[in-house]
Structure 1
Amino acid sequence: MDRQLAYARHYPAINWLTSYSEYAEELKGWFDSNVDKTFYENRADIISILQTESKLMEIVNLIGSDVLPDDQKLLLEIARTIRLGFLQQNAYHENDTYVPIVKQHKMAAIILFLYDKTKELLPLNIPISIIKETGLFEKIIRIKYDIKNDQLSLFDTYRSDIEKTVADIKARYKTEEKRSNPV
């Protein structure tokens, strides 16, 4: 148990940076055949994001997040989404007390999909604040409560919502850019 996580009321209070499984590699085949072939890859991506967040938080704690480039701000927001929407558990909520492994995989996959789609906005110089205003991150954090354990097909709706929201931001930004830079 991690004392700081317990103090912050983050349960289970297991530090994702220091805990590990000696059996992860041995279980890869089982996850491939019983859950999804991308399970192990998604797990590695999430661990990488959380490790990068830990390094960035040292900078943020010293000088603040305002100095970070947008790609790092986005990574911090995705890491927050992982921590609150995926790792943190509410034992008193009917949909979060027990979460089947397939739902866990779909939750991880939708968070990584959100990350990939929102990264598309960075080369367009769209500020992270615009992306955050959409409420996408909060919506994905609530997914563990909003999708019941037997309604996993609803993840497709969230995937479509992410695609539509990102497309809308791109279209809106291009329209605003044309207005501010008439030819």
Structure 2
Amino acid sequence: MTTRSIGDLLIAPGASRGEQLICYTTAALGAAGSTALAVHADLSLLAVIVIAVIAFDLCGGAVVNSTASAKRHFHRAGRTHWHHLGFVAIHVQPFILALVVPEFPWCSAAAVYLLALAGAVTILSTPAALRRPIAFAWVTLALLFPLDTPTALVWMPPILLIKLLLAHLQPEEARR
């Protein structure tokens, strides 16, 4: 029986100490920054807690998904487009935020979610050599989409798109 570490579960099997340090530090600082924004916006305690947890996941996850260990894990042999699309689809954080932050409209939550999902479909339907530039083009243009996002959540759409489209969907490049 193999013993798995917390790093194996939250980052990827075999994550280096350096990768773990960067990922956890970014997650903690993201949670702290989002908490400060939520408290400043005078949101409810429930909203502040939910925002902190989601920021920990998204901020840390954006960095996690860019690590070599996560790239090896998520893009290992046998992984298909369906695995990657499923990973994007389970990121329902915009709807959870709409549930606890009354100033964040459900239509904006749906727009963020659909931008991520449609971006994933577009990227995964693109020839491999063009996926990275298509992902950057998609995120760049998606961030121009006008959303009714409260100040306490302005960080969420770009970080969600970075985590999913720019980090997770991009395999590790071969070393030259």
Place the TM-score, normalised by the shorter chain, in its bin.
0.3 to 0.5
TM-score, normalization by structure 2:
0.36
TM-score, structure 1 as length reference: 0.35
Structure with the larger RCO, 1 or 2 (CA within 8 Å, 6+ apart): 2
Larger Rg: 1
